[in-house]
Structure 1
């Protein structure tokens, strides 16, 4: 006789937490990537809402990580301390920045974004449910499909309005989230689905008016292939190139400009940009130590402190604003993060290297240093990869044994 199982008392708080967590993940994995294709500020507005829902869910069911041990582990990590040095040096640079008001406001916004990302990190369960993580490739595929439709019929769907900048931002987020989606699907043995998602994203980026996202996806694919073939080599090369480019950034215009002149001519836009970069380096070499202060690269163009055609790239703006202290600290922080990425789940290492390579390529091509939508997009990518890593506690389902079942009977 089969007895009805007693499920025990129902806890409304646990049910509410499960619902909030489901809605939060649906917002972060599906709504944000899709809405980013059509709404300029979707990432900045919707992502914090989704993270707050995850934090509330963790507070309700107690599945958040305790703050003190988590902070102790972070403070014991050299890469985190180097990143903290970048933040502290940015705060100190407010003393000599010519734009104190805007720089302070931007720094407070960045601090709030970092704090919200840390809260989301602590709120993610130690064991992620597969049902929640499968929302990620579904959201990326839906966003890619919408981007393809906008690329083919954009003028008709938008009524002829110019929304290229909005689509660029959405596609950048798509290029970042493609790799954790692929990493999750491959970790579950779904290689065909992973390839399908990657092809959809590639199709959307091919139709984009800007080639930045497609270049980032291609660089990410190279890092993914190399790391899949030789994990240690791929990790070392990715981390090394990022660190070297950040450290040697002031030398890049002197190396790249002669090549640009030979290929494109002396009046090509890229060559003129490199010339202005050279001028900044040679006319104020002392400023390479301290930097000009936070927010000066962005605001300086508006008051002729910088040439109008000065580069809008991480490599230039980091050195210009924070000098050698900020650049070396950022290089060490990124090197440490890349080297440690995926240590708990080796199956995710190729995807992690691809995401790092894609994000760094986008930052180097011309997104800038402190645009809030870009910082928020990076925060989303970080939380997504942490969630995928915490979904690796069981890599394969246990197989039923016919002999054991017969013995038990």
Structure 2
């Protein structure tokens, strides 16, 4: 007589599963939606969601073994180059004119990186599809909220001082997260849903027109299309152009200024900004080696050390603050990261290239180098991409007929059908 199987219930495992579900719901749904209406939503809510994921993994230990994962991370050239950038930033505190603010900003940067690394190590080795399907749902909901605010924002957000800034940050997060969401849907063979998701995000950006997000979405779409057709070419172009522009950034004003003056006139704002950049490069060439020190680009404008029309792009700020050592280390880190992204799961490579291209475009147009909400948005994007990569462990479903034969064989006591 067969004994009735007794399923043991472990409250700790149930609690860990609940915490993980809440953490992913916060990261995939709440953060993108609330970011459309709250300026500090990304900075406040994202760490809470990551901490929930860390607690869940500490309870059920479903993450990858920490020692091998940590050693593999320490042996990664991209990680080592990134650590060199952080170390050089710390050393530059010795010659920065803004020691107090620079130290505080560097501490915030280090805390963001450490929390991202902890979240990365805490992610389960195998992600449940039920958790990952929250991502396209969250992006869709956030895009709908952005459309409503774009159409009726004046009446809905009347009296709010920071509504435009909040929506701008929310749309930036949407521009980044739409690519991992589309990559996840494509990996589940839901191409139509992926296309619909990209279209609704495009509508959200068009309703609240902002050149930065629209251009980033277009560049990301181009990288996605090229990589889908020619994977090697897409990866090579994305890595080469991004790292190359970062490495030769001081030459950009000398090349782009004549072309900009011919097209838009010598007094156009962009041309004047390039002229200011060109003057900074030629007046202090030795500073291209060491840089002016961490946090000098932002504080220098306020203190009068930099012209008010100096560029706000990351290409300028990285060279101005950290010089050739920090810029070349960052370029190598970016190049190695792009070449490594999605190598284990080729189906995700187009989405990864689109994400890199969109993020680099936003950084080049005018987001500050170490603005905390921007760094947090990048950290969220990294964790989302790692999550969908770990959701690709299942290769194919077993045939229905095979399942039926196995069940029938098990019910009549015969041997399992091979």
- Give the CA deviation at 1:403: 9.5
Q: 3-state SS of the aligned residue for 1:240?
A: helix
Distance 1:196 1:403, change over 3 A: closer
Q: Alpha-carbon deviations, 1:246-290, whole Å to 9, x = none?
A: 011000011111111111111110011000000110000000000
Give, in whole Å, the separation in 1 of the partners of 2:41 and 2:52.
Answer: 16
The residue aligned with 1:374 is 374
The TM-score, its normalising length taken from structure 1, stands at: 0.97
- Within-5 A mapping of 1:125-204: 125-159=124-158, 161-162=160-161, 163-204=163-204
- Give the CA deviation at 1:176: 0.2
Give, in whole Å, the separation in 2 of the partners of 1:2 and 1:150.
Answer: 62
The TM-score, its normalising length taken from structure 2, stands at: 0.95
Give, in whole Å, the separation in 2 of the partners of 1:310 and 1:99.
Answer: 18
Range with greater deviation from structure 2 (290-299 or 63-72): 63-72
Give, in whole Å, the separation in 2 of the partners of 1:26 and 1:368.
Answer: 29
RMSD: 1.4
Give, in whole Å, the separation in 1 of the partners of 2:112 and 2:359.
Answer: 18
Q: 3-state SS of the aligned residue for 2:398?
A: coil
Q: 3-state SS of the aligned residue for 1:63?
A: coil
Give, in whole Å, the separation in 2 of the partners of 1:218 and 1:191.
Answer: 19
The residue aligned with 2:360 is 360
- Give the CA deviation at 1:158: 0.8
- Give the CA deviation at 1:161: 3.7
> Which consecutive residues of structure 2, in runs of 5 or more, have no partner in the other structure?
413-418
Determine if contact 1:188/1:396 at 8 Å carries over to the other structure.
no
> Which consecutive residues of structure 1, in runs of 5 or more, have no partner in the other structure?
none
Give, in whole Å, the separation in 2 of the partners of 1:404 and 1:201.
Answer: 43
Aligned length: 408
Distance 1:143 1:119, change over 3 A: same
Give, in whole Å, the separation in 2 of the partners of 1:285 and 1:67.
Answer: 45
- Within-5 A mapping of 1:242-281: 242-281=242-281
Range with greater deviation from structure 2 (399-408 or 155-164): 399-408
- Give the CA deviation at 1:6: 2.2
Q: 3-state SS of the aligned residue for 2:96?
A: coil
The residue aligned with 2:12 is 13
Give, in whole Å, the separation in 1 of the partners of 2:40 and 2:217.
Answer: 23
Give, in whole Å, the separation in 2 of the partners of 1:67 and 1:131.
Answer: 25
Give, in whole Å, the separation in 2 of the partners of 1:403 and 1:339.
Answer: 40
Range with greater deviation from structure 2 (64-73 or 33-42): 64-73
- Within-5 A mapping of 1:194-343: 194-343=194-343
Determine if contact 1:188/1:395 at 8 Å carries over to the other structure.
no
Give, in whole Å, the separation in 1 of the partners of 2:164 and 2:88.
Answer: 35
Q: 3-state SS of the aligned residue for 1:364?
A: helix
Give, in whole Å, the separation in 2 of the partners of 1:372 and 1:233.
Answer: 33
Give, in whole Å, the separation in 2 of the partners of 1:367 and 1:190.
Answer: 33
Q: 3-state SS of the aligned residue for 2:310?
A: coil
The residue aligned with 2:51 is 52
Determine if contact 1:155/1:161 at 8 Å carries over to the other structure.
no
Determine if contact 1:91/1:107 at 8 Å carries over to the other structure.
yes
Give, in whole Å, the separation in 2 of the partners of 1:384 and 1:243.
Answer: 23
- Give the CA deviation at 1:401: 1.9
